[in-house]
Structure 1
Amino acid sequence: MKIIIGSKNPAKIMAVQTAFSDYEAEIISNDVPSGVSDQPFSDEETIKGAINRAFGALEISGGQIGIGLEGGVQKTEYGLFLCNWGALAEEGKSPIIGGGARIPLPEEVSARLLAGEELGPVMDDYAKKVNVRKNEGAVGIFTNGQVNRSEMFSHVMKLLIGQYEYRKMG
């Protein structure tokens, strides 16, 4: 089986490799545009980005499965929350979708996002680190390392693979 990830982000790649570790699979990563804002600002936009990456990965590769993983934020009455969504695409079938953990962002970070900045660079500045998005992610910073970005996306991948296996049984 050939699985194509619509991203070169190491945290996302690790999540997919971990999720498919029990499969005989060749896993390839490609830069695939999300087709949404650099900073998705709703569940809907973040889901759409994941679906676009999954089907885009399938289109450019000839693989059997395309995977799209997308992080974003969702505005609520309790503040701005991190959100993350994934999609698994197969030729001629509707996408399988799953979402993951949510935590509120500090006001200092939220204000910058609401002013038009993107989370990745804001987090690098906030945490005084480089490439937070490719390592622990905002979730890793704000959970004091209890959950990192790859683990967060690993949970989403388990939701996707579980639905994929269930659909194959049907």
Structure 2
Amino acid sequence: MAAPQKTVVIASNSIPKTKATREGFAQLLPGSYEFQGISVPSNVAEQPFSDEETLSGATNRARNAQKELPNADFWVGIEGGVEPRDGSIFNFAWIVVIGKDGKLGRARTAGYFLPEKTCELLRQGVELGHADDQIFGQTNSKNKKGSVGILTDGVVDRADFYTQAVILALIPFKNASLTF
């Protein structure tokens, strides 16, 4: 008899975030899932500007999704952020997964420094996706390949950027007998 389908709520309707969540679950916790996206607030700035603010945004998204759709098995919050470092700005994201039993998984993506033109716009309060659209002549790039995809010429796109961290955030669920 097949295991019952589990529901995963993604605290976003972003195509890259949805794709990364689906791929992360498929790779580390294969099974039958229904994925549902929901737009919920992060309760942080539109462009988080520190590691702590970005982690808070991901946590808030997962918890807000849980409040909106409480009967799921997992809630996933993904928040991209930037942080000033060494005179430049470093880009990364946090992923938070909450299980119906209250278990919490968290992981951060790899990161990279942004071009100076992008940094200038970010310092003026422009969100990264809008800055990329403006600088690189794109439209809604954050729902496509994202900044990382633009800068790597598609070798790593925004979904790829998130997928590994989704997998890492699922480690506590893969290793249920361990305490994290």
Q: TM-score range by the shorter chain?
A: over 0.9
Q: 1:46 aligns with which of 48, 54, 62?
A: 54
Q: Tell me whether 1:169 sits opposite 2:177 in the alignment.
A: yes
Q: CA deviation at 1:94?
A: 5.3
TM-score by length of 1: 0.94
Q: Deviation per CA, 1:70-95, whole angstroms, max 9, x where unpaired? A: 10101111510111110001246353
Radius of gyration: which is bigger? Answer: 2
Q: Tell me whether 1:8 sits opposite 2:17 in the alignment.
A: no
In 2, Cα distance between the equivalents of 1:20 and 1:68? Answer: 14
Question: Which runs of no fewer than 5 residues in structure 1 stay unpaired?
Answer: none
TM-score by length of 2: 0.89
Tell me the secondary structure at the aligned position of residue 147 of structure 1.
coil
Instruction: Name the residue aligned to 2:24.
Output: 19
Tell me the secondary structure at the aligned position of residue 84 of structure 1.
strand
Q: Deviation per CA, 1:79-118, whole angstroms, max 9, x where unpaired? A: 1011111000124635321001211001111011011111
Question: Counterpart amino acid of 2:111?
Answer: R
Q: 1:112 aligns with which of 87, 97, 121?
A: 121
In 2, Cα distance between the equivalents of 1:79 and 1:129? Answer: 23
In 2, Cα distance between the equivalents of 1:23 and 1:45? Answer: 33
In 1, Cα distance between the equivalents of 2:143 and 2:15? Answer: 6
Where does structure 1 differ by over 3 angstroms across 4 or more consecutive aligned residues?
none
Instruction: Name the residue aligned to 2:74.
Output: 65
Q: Tell me whether 1:28 sits opposite 2:33 in the alignment.
A: no
Q: CA deviation at 1:132?
A: 0.6
Q: 1:133 aligns with which of 139, 142, 161?
A: 142
Q: Deviation per CA, 1:12-36, whole angstroms, max 9, x where unpaired? A: 0011111222221111000011110
Q: 1:96 aligns with which of 105, 109, 129?
A: 105
In 1, Cα distance between the equivalents of 2:104 and 2:89? Answer: 27
Question: Counterpart amino acid of 1:110?
Answer: C
- Would you say the 8 A contact 2:90–2:114 is kept in 1? yes
Question: Counterpart amino acid of 2:58?
Answer: A
Instruction: Name the residue aligned to 2:3.
Output: none
In 2, Cα distance between the equivalents of 1:67 and 1:139? Answer: 21
Identity of aligned residues (%): 30
Question: Which runs of no fewer than 5 residues in structure 2 stay unpaired?
Answer: 1-5
Tell me the secondary structure at the aligned position of residue 129 of structure 2.
helix
- The CA RMSD measured in Å over matched residues stands at 1.3
